[in-house]
Chain A
Amino acid sequence: MSNNGSINLSDFLNPPPVDQIGIEERVARLNKRSIKKNSKLSALKLALSMIDLTTLEGKDSKGKVRQLCNKALHLHDSFPDLPNVAAVCVYPPMVPTAVECLKESNVKVASVATAFPSGMTTLQTKLSEVRRVVRMGADEVDMVISRGAFLRGEYHLVFDEIASVKEACGEAHLKVILETGELYSLDNVRLASGIAIGAGADFIKTSTGKIQPAATQPVALVMMQAIRDHYFKTGKKVGLKPAGGISDAKTAIQYLVLLKETLGVEWLTPDLFRFGASSLANDLLMQILKQANGVYQSANYFSKD
C-alpha cells in the first residue's frame, strides 16, 4: 500500500511465488481430515447455506429459473431445520424472473455480467450490462476478467476494468471470476487474485464453469492464501467462490476444511464463501438425511431442478 493509504496496482504486482508441488501436498494433507458425526452434519448444512444455485445455459427459460428458485426456497421440506441456499445465479435476462420469485426470501439474486463467459466485448458494454442487472434488482454481480489482457501482461487494464465494474455495481456485491482454467499456472492465479482484490472485489471466484478445469482445490488454496495475505495487511476480508465441478458432498467438505484451516472460522459463512454449483445441493441433502437416519439415499427421492 502506498503511504497515503490508497490502493495501487503496484502493490499487487509482485506476489510471492507459488510452488505447485507444495500446494498439492498441502491439499492432499487437508483432504485426509476425517469429518465424521456432528462435524459432518454441520459441515453439510453449512455447505448447503453457501450454495449459489446456478443455471447458466443458452437454453435457460423463465420456467427453468422459476423451478430453480423454488428449489432454493424448498430444498427438502420434509426435513426440518434446513438452511436456505445463499443465492440463485442466472444470466442477465433472467434477473427479473429470479427477483420476482425470491423477493419474499433472504435468498440473494446473483447475475453474471460483463459478457459472461468470455468477457469479449467493450468496457462500455460491460459497464452498461452491470448497471442494468443491478437496476433490475440483482444483489450480486459475477464478472469475468479479461484473460486476454491478463495473459498479455496488461495488468493495469484488468485492474482498471474491475475497478470500473465495482463502481458500476454500487451497492451490489462484486464477484470477480478469474477463470483459472485459462490462467495456466498457480503463479498467475495468485497474481490475478491480488489484482482482483486490489481493484475492489468483494469475492474472487475461480471459474465460469464453461472452461475445464473449473474449480480445483489447489487453485482455491492459492486464492485463499491471497485473501489471507490481504487480510493480514489490511484487515479486510474478501470472499471466495469456487465454481464448477463441485458436485458431491465429500468435495464440498474438503473445500470447507481448506477454508477453515487457511482463513479460519470467520470465513465459514455465506457472506465470505460460496459454492457455484447446481447438482451439489441434492448430494448434500442426501448426505444430511443419511446422517440423520442412517440409511443411504437414492437420488429419486430428491427434486431435480
Chain B
Amino acid sequence: MVTKEKLIDFNSVWEYSPAPESTDHVKLDDKYDLFINGEFVSPKSRKYFWTENPATGKKIAKVAEASKADVNSAVKAARTAYDKYWSKMPASERSKYIFRIARIMQERSRELSVIESLDGGKPIRESRDVDIPLASAHFFYYAGWADKLDYAFPGRKTRALGVAGQIIPWNFPLLMAAWKIAPALATGNTVVLKPAETTPLTAMKLAEIIQEADLPPGVVNIIPGAGETGKAIVNHPGLDKIAFTGSTVVGKYIQKTLAGTGKKYSLELGGKAANIIFEEADLDQAVEGIINAIFFNQGHVCCAGSRLLIQEGIADEIINKLKNRMETLIIGDPLDKNTDIGAINSKAQLKRINELVSAGIDEGGTIYQPTCALPKSGYWFKPTLFTDVSQSHRIVQEEIFGPVLAIQTFRTVDEAIEKANNTPYGLSGGVWTDKGSKVFKVTKQINAGVIWANTFNKFDPTSPFGGYKESGMGREGGLHGLLPYVELI
C-alpha cells in the first residue's frame, strides 16, 4: 500500500513545562589544574583555557593546558607509580582500588551527570541514564578482572605494558575516560590521560574521585589540553602504549608516528554505519531504532547509524513515520529532563556539520527538518534527513558527527550488504528484520565490529567495542578489551 505523507500534530496542545535538573548540588571551581602525581598542580606552561557551556556559549571554568614539560612530569609520575606501587601491589588490592572508584562514581552520579551536560551539551537524560551509569559500571567490571587475568587468555599469562598514554574525545567525556582507565589499571598499567579540550570537567571530577579513593600518587594522571598536548603524549618516549579515540585522520597520524617505536597502540576511530531496514521488520520499532541510531547524543557518536538503507517497498511508510517521530523530538536546554536533543558540542563542530549539510544540498540531496525552534544562543542543529542521495554523495561517505541522516533504498539483501560495506569505515551496523535466519546471515556479512540487530546504540562494559578497517584496531570492553593493555607471555 502506498502511504501518503501525513504529519500528525504533536505539539500545539499540552506542551511540557520546563523541567530543569537543578544545579545547586554541583560543586564547580572557577579553575582546574593538572592532576599529576596525586595532586592538583598548576601547569608549567602557566596557560589556562576556558571551557564553555555549548548550550549558552557561556564560560564555565578555566582549565590548565598541559605543555610538553607537563606531559613529562605526568609520564614521570606514572612511571614512578608503576615501578614503586602499582606493579608491586597484589592484584587483589589493585582490584579493590578500582572497585572503590566505581562506587564513588555511583555516589556522585547526579553531580557528574549535571556537569557532563553543562560542559558538553548532551541531554541530562542521556548523561544521567547512559554516560555516568555506564562509566561506573565499566570500572566495576574491570575491577574484577585485576586478579583473574591468568584465566583470560588460555595457555598464556599476561604482563602489564607499563605506562599508557590515553587520549579521549569530547562526545562521551567521562565514559571514554572510564573505557580507557579501567582496563589499563586492571591489567596493571599506570595512566596519563588527556581529556578533550571542550569537555575536560568530568575528567577533573574523576581526578577528585581518584584522590578520594586514595589511589597511590601517579597511578592516574589527568592532564587537559588540545592537539599539542596530545601530540606531546603520542611522541613521548617514556610511554609503552597509546590508546586513542577520535578521528580517523588523527588515528592515522598516531599510527604513522608510532611506527618503529615499539609502542603498542589501540585506535577507536570514525564510522559511517549503515542501518538496514528490511520489509518484514517491526516497522515502528525500526523507526525508534533509526531515531536512536542517529540522534542519540546529537549524532556525536562514532558508531551512529548515519546511513539508512530501507527496502524499497516500505521506504515511503518508514520515511513518513520517521518524519512524524522527529516532530516529537524535544530540542533545547540540555539540563531539561525532557530534552531529547541537546546542543552541538562546539562552534567548530557546528561549522563542520553546516558545511557538510550544505554540500548535501549542493549535490542535489533533498533535506528535511522538523518544525522545532532552536534556542537563540549557543550551538544548535536541527535533526535532519536527506533523501535523494547516493553512495557518491559526500554526506553518504563522510562522517558528519552530527544529527544528519542520509537515506537510500535497496531491493535485495545483496544490494543492502554491498552498500553497507561500501565505505572505508567498519565500526558498526544495524539490521532490522523479524526473520531469525536473516539476522545471522546479514550480521555476519556486514564488515564492522559491532552489529546491532533489532536494536541500536546499546553499550555494556562486558561487550567488546571497536572497528574493522579504518574505524580502528583493538577492542574496548569485555574480555577482549584486556588485550590492548597486556603482553601475552
With A19-B454, A25-B288, A261-B328 already in contact, the answer to whether A32 and B14 are too (CB < 8 A) is no
Q: Chain A contacts of B337 at CB under 8 A? A: 32-34
Task: Please determine whether B281 and A265 come into contact, CB atoms closer than 8 angstroms.
Answer: no
User: B320: which of A42, A232, A263, A264 is its contact (CB, 8 Å)?
Assistant: A232
With A18-B282, A22-B288, A264-B9 already in contact, the answer to whether A34 and B455 are too (CB < 8 A) is no
User: B12: which of A23, A43, A46, A265 is its contact (CB, 8 Å)?
Assistant: A265
Task: Please determine whether B289 and A22 come into contact, CB atoms closer than 8 angstroms.
Answer: yes
Residue ID in chain B nearest A186 by CB atoms: B282
Task: Please determine whether A265 and B9 come into contact, CB atoms closer than 8 angstroms.
Answer: yes
Task: Please determine whether A38 and B10 come into contact, CB atoms closer than 8 angstroms.
Answer: no
Q: Chain A contacts of B281 at CB under 8 A? A: 16-17
User: Which of B281, B282, B338 counts the most chain A CB atoms within 10 A?
Assistant: B282
A40 lies within 8 A of chain B by Cβ: yes
User: A233: which of B3, B15, B280 is its contact (CB, 8 Å)?
Assistant: B3
B434 lies within 8 A of chain A by Cβ: yes
Task: Please determine whether B9 and A26 come into contact, CB atoms closer than 8 angstroms.
Answer: no
Task: Please determine whether B280 and A17 come into contact, CB atoms closer than 8 angstroms.
Answer: yes
Task: Please determine whether A32 and B8 come into contact, CB atoms closer than 8 angstroms.
Answer: no
Q: Chain A contacts of B226 at CB under 8 A? A: none
CB of A190 to closest CB in B, whole Å: 9
CA distance A114 to B110 in the complex (A): 53
CA distance A265 to B11 in the complex (A): 7
With A22-B285, A32-B125, A232-B320 already in contact, the answer to whether A17 and B434 are too (CB < 8 A) is yes
A266 lies within 8 A of chain B by Cβ: yes
User: Using a CB-CB cutoff of 8 Å, which residues 315-329 of chain B contact chain A?
Assistant: 317, 320-321, 328
Task: Please determine whether B14 and A39 come into contact, CB atoms closer than 8 angstroms.
Answer: yes
A268 lies within 8 A of chain B by Cβ: yes
Task: Please determine whether A265 and B285 come into contact, CB atoms closer than 8 angstroms.
Answer: no
Per-residue CB contact flags for chain A residues 6-35 toward chain B (1 = under 8 Å, else 0) read 000000000011110111011000001111
Task: Please determine whether A22 and B282 come into contact, CB atoms closer than 8 angstroms.
Answer: yes
Size bin of chain A's contact surface? 35 or more
With A17-B434, A232-B6, A266-B9 already in contact, the answer to whether A37 and B17 are too (CB < 8 A) is yes
Task: Please determine whether B8 and A42 come into contact, CB atoms closer than 8 angstroms.
Answer: no
Q: Chain B contacts of A38 at CB under 8 A? A: 17
Q: Chain A contacts of B10 at CB under 8 A? A: 260-261, 264-265
CA distance A23 to B282 in the complex (A): 10
Per-residue CB contact flags for chain B residues 1-24 toward chain A (1 = under 8 Å, else 0) read 101101011111111111100000
CB of B20 to closest CB in A, whole Å: 9
Q: Chain A contacts of B1 at CB under 8 A? A: 1, 233
Chain B binding site: helix, strand, loop or mixed by DSSP?
loop
Q: Chain B contacts of A265 at CB under 8 A? A: 9-14
A36 lies within 8 A of chain B by Cβ: yes
Task: Please determine whether A46 and B14 come into contact, CB atoms closer than 8 angstroms.
Answer: yes
B487 lies within 8 A of chain A by Cβ: no
Q: Chain A contacts of B282 at CB under 8 A? A: 16-19, 22
Chain A binding site: helix, strand, loop or mixed by DSSP?
helix
Q: Chain A contacts of B4 at CB under 8 A? A: 232
Q: Chain B contacts of A35 at CB under 8 A? A: 16-17, 19
B213 lies within 8 A of chain A by Cβ: no
Q: Chain B contacts of A235 at CB under 8 A? A: 6
Q: Chain B contacts of A21 at CB under 8 A? A: 454-455
Q: Chain B contacts of A297 at CB under 8 A? A: none
Per-residue CB contact flags for chain B residues 168-206 toward chain A (1 = under 8 Å, else 0) read 000000000000000000000000000000000000000
CB of B61 to closest CB in A, whole Å: 27
CB of B323 to closest CB in A, whole Å: 11
A225 lies within 8 A of chain B by Cβ: yes
CA distance A24 to B404 in the complex (A): 26
User: Which of A35, A42, A228, A264 counts the most chain B CB atoms within 10 A?
Assistant: A264
CB of B284 to closest CB in A, whole Å: 5
CA distance A37 to B282 in the complex (A): 36
Residue ID in chain B nearest A22 by CB atoms: B285
CB of A35 to closest CB in B, whole Å: 6
CB of A42 to closest CB in B, whole Å: 6
CB of A45 to closest CB in B, whole Å: 11
Q: Chain A contacts of B285 at CB under 8 A? A: 18-19, 22-23, 26
Q: Chain B contacts of A32 at CB under 8 A? A: 125, 129, 337
Residue ID in chain B nearest A40 by CB atoms: B17
CA distance A16 to B11 in the complex (A): 27
User: Using a CB-CB cutoff of 8 Å, which residues 184-200 of chain A contact chain B?
Assistant: none
Task: Please determine whether B16 and A225 come into contact, CB atoms closer than 8 angstroms.
Answer: no
CB of A2 to closest CB in B, whole Å: 11
CA distance A231 to B9 in the complex (A): 13
User: Which of B13, B280, B321, B455 counts the most chain A CB atoms within 10 A?
Assistant: B13
Residue ID in chain B nearest A224 by CB atoms: B284
Task: Please determine whether A263 and B8 come into contact, CB atoms closer than 8 angstroms.
Answer: yes
Q: Chain B contacts of A43 at CB under 8 A? A: 14
CA distance A264 to B10 in the complex (A): 4
Task: Please determine whether A36 and B8 come into contact, CB atoms closer than 8 angstroms.
Answer: no
CB of B365 to closest CB in A, whole Å: 25
Task: Please determine whether A266 and B454 come into contact, CB atoms closer than 8 angstroms.
Answer: no
Task: Please determine whether A22 and B454 come into contact, CB atoms closer than 8 angstroms.
Answer: yes
Per-residue CB contact flags for chain B residues 127-163 toward chain A (1 = under 8 Å, else 0) read 0010000000000000000000000000000000000
CB of B173 to closest CB in A, whole Å: 22
Task: Please determine whether A39 and B17 come into contact, CB atoms closer than 8 angstroms.
Answer: yes
CB of B405 to closest CB in A, whole Å: 19
B283 lies within 8 A of chain A by Cβ: yes
CA distance A225 to B280 in the complex (A): 16
Residue ID in chain A nearest B129 by CB atoms: A32
CB of A256 to closest CB in B, whole Å: 8
CA distance A225 to B317 in the complex (A): 13
Q: Chain A contacts of B283 at CB under 8 A? A: 16
User: Using a CB-CB cutoff of 8 Å, which residues 80-132 of chain B contact chain A?
Assistant: 125, 129
CA distance A40 to B15 in the complex (A): 10
CA distance A235 to B317 in the complex (A): 15
Q: Which 8 A-B pairs have the closest CB atoms?
A: A22-B285, A34-B19, A264-B8, A34-B337, A265-B13, A37-B17, A39-B17, A17-B434
- If A36-B17, A228-B8, A232-B3 are given as contacts, then 15 extra A-B residue pairs at C-beta distance below 8 Å, sorted by A number, are A16-B283, A16-B284, A22-B282, A26-B288, A32-B125, A33-B16, A35-B19, A37-B17, A38-B17, A40-B17, A232-B4, A232-B320, A265-B10, A265-B11, A265-B14
Can you pick out 22 interface pairs between chain A and chain B where the beta carbons lie within 8 Å of each other?
A1-B1, A16-B284, A17-B281, A17-B434, A18-B284, A18-B285, A19-B285, A22-B282, A33-B16, A33-B338, A34-B16, A35-B16, A35-B17, A35-B19, A36-B18, A232-B317, A232-B320, A235-B6, A256-B14, A263-B8, A264-B9, A266-B9
A residues apposed to B, CB below 8 Å: 1, 16-19, 21-23, 25-26, 32-40, 42-43, 46, 225, 228, 231-233, 235, 256, 260-261, 263-266, 268
